Amino acid sequence: MPDLLPQLLPLAKVLLAFGVMLAGLRLRQPLWLSVFLGGFVLALAFHMPLAQWATVAILSIFQRETVFLVLILTLILFLSEVLEKSGQTRRLMQAATGFLADPKLRLAFFPALVGFLPMPGGAVFSAPLVRDMADGLGLKRRDTALVNYWFRHLWELCWPLYPGIILTSSLAGVPLGRLILYTSPCLVLCVLLGWRFIMRPAVAHLDVDSSGAGTEPPERDLRAALWHGLPMLIAICCGLGFELGMTAFAPGLPFELGIMAALGLAIGSALIQNRVGPGFVAGVLADRELYRLVALVVSVLVFKDVLQASGAVEQLAQAASGPGALFALTLGLPLLVGLISGITVAFVGATFPIILGVLHNLGAAMGVEIPLLPYLTLGLFAGFVGVMVSPLHVCFILSCQFFGVDLASAWRRLLIPCGLLLAFGVAWFFVLLRIV
């Protein structure tokens, strides 16, 4: 037992920092401030001088990685706000639902389509549309809230506009397209689990003859669907195309430039389509949520650099004396932070620097190269499960509030599908270890 305590001490210090983050959230402090204070407590716990902490924090804010990521997230949120406030997202959904005859598919389609855009609290944007559809089908409010919440988050680990997957790619130095290739099974599994444990119980009272009553889709209009979806098509197709082109023809340039160029074109398309002026743009830029997310990203990147400079990673690597300990760390830390924060960017920024540092140091100590992508995938699955089952998840809280649903009763319904998703993530990790 005395020999075990020194090994557990670094982990206890890191958990103390996470405890400070949790306390900040419980006290309803902004998440960026909670993460920032957690990093400060971490520095103190590892005896990092205040002058060194301040230097690391300032340098972290102005390094290329931070600047590029902040610019990308700002462009993504700006595009989301333009599409939402101009009404283009709603028009796109109305045009696209004409291609879905089954009302149950249309019920899932509304939140899934909103999920293409990483809007903070986006579930509350799709909630009125889901409510109107669900009322025609006679669904219970709790079931409606869960449908709205679950299908809103199908794309979190495999859509190249989501901040969490972009941050993971940036931290690990892995091309975004390659990372998505490994996390894409999450999309298929989320659809299947959502249909079996969320949608199926919600529509169990419906029969084939009455399920479509009063819910006929609008006429199909492919031209309208393509027109209203043009900004998203530009953002996705050009983003992936630019990244592949730069990898092939200009590998020395940062891949983030391609993503920013694609987002700039998408924003230009949305502004031209909606014929908005400077006043509209100024209103979008005045949205406080935009700057809160930017502050969160900066704070988690500062936290990451404090982890490295304080020696926490090296001490954790010494405690993690083998692959088994690395596996436990990769599974446990993202799950814990995802559960605490309810935000993907938070668990990626707070835990992946630790995992990457331990992985590198352990590989060097063992004299072997430990494959990176299986551990990235496991960490993303575990953290995403924590986010989805977190009672602090903003989308979950807002969705339950909108439909007037008790959070505890709705939360219990998430345990089985989230548990199965985590089990699949573990199994997929061992498959990847064999094939990578």
Q: Cα(137)–Cα(202) distance, rounded to whole angstroms?
A: 10
Q: How confident is the model at residue 1 (pLDDT cuts 50, 70, 90)?
A: very low
- Per the domain annotation, does 169 fall within a domain? yes
Q: Containing H/E element for 296? A: helix 288-310
107, two tokens: 């019920």
- Per the domain annotation, does 60 fall within a domain? yes
Residue with the larger pLDDT of the pair 129 and 378: 378
> What confidence score (pLDDT) does residue 425 get?
95
With a cut of 70, say whether residue 214 has pLDDT above it.
no
- Per the domain annotation, does 1 fall within a domain? no
- Per the domain annotation, does 3 fall within a domain? no
Percent of the chain residues past pLDDT 70, beyond the cut: 86
| Mean pLDDT computed over 355-379 | 84
Q: Whose structure tokens read 């091309």?
A: 175
Give tens-digit pLDDT for 180-192: 999 999 999 999 9
Range with the lowest mean pLDDT among 191-200, 276-285, 373-382, 385-394?
A: 276-285
Q: Cα(310)–Cα(56) distance, rounded to whole angstroms?
A: 10
Question: What average pLDDT does the structure give for the chain?
Answer: 81
Q: Cα(251)–Cα(13) distance, rounded to whole angstroms?
A: 40
- Per the domain annotation, does 4 fall within a domain? no
| Mean pLDDT computed over 58-80 | 79
- Per the domain annotation, does 306 fall within a domain? yes
Q: Cα(421)–Cα(33) distance, rounded to whole angstroms?
A: 31
With a cut of 70, say whether residue 216 has pLDDT above it.
no
Q: Are 305 and 56 contacting, i.e. CB atoms less than 8 angstroms apart?
A: yes
Burial level of 210, CB count in 10 A (0-12/13-18/19+)?
Answer: exposed
Task: Note down the domain range covering 405.
Answer: 9-205+212-435
| Mean pLDDT computed over 315-341 | 75
With a cut of 70, say whether residue 124 has pLDDT above it.
no
- Per the domain annotation, does 387 fall within a domain? yes
Residue with the larger pLDDT of the pair 268 and 310: 268
Q: How many domains does the chain have?
A: 1
- Per the domain annotation, does 140 fall within a domain? yes
Helices (H), 27-122: 31-45, 50-62, 64-85, 88-96, 103-114
Q: How confident is the model at residue 217 (pLDDT cuts 50, 70, 90)?
A: low
Q: Name the residue among 17, 40, 53 with its Cα closest to residue 354.
A: 17
Handedness of CA 207, 208, 211, 214 (dihedral sign): negative
Looking at this protein, which amino acid is placed at residue 161?
A: L
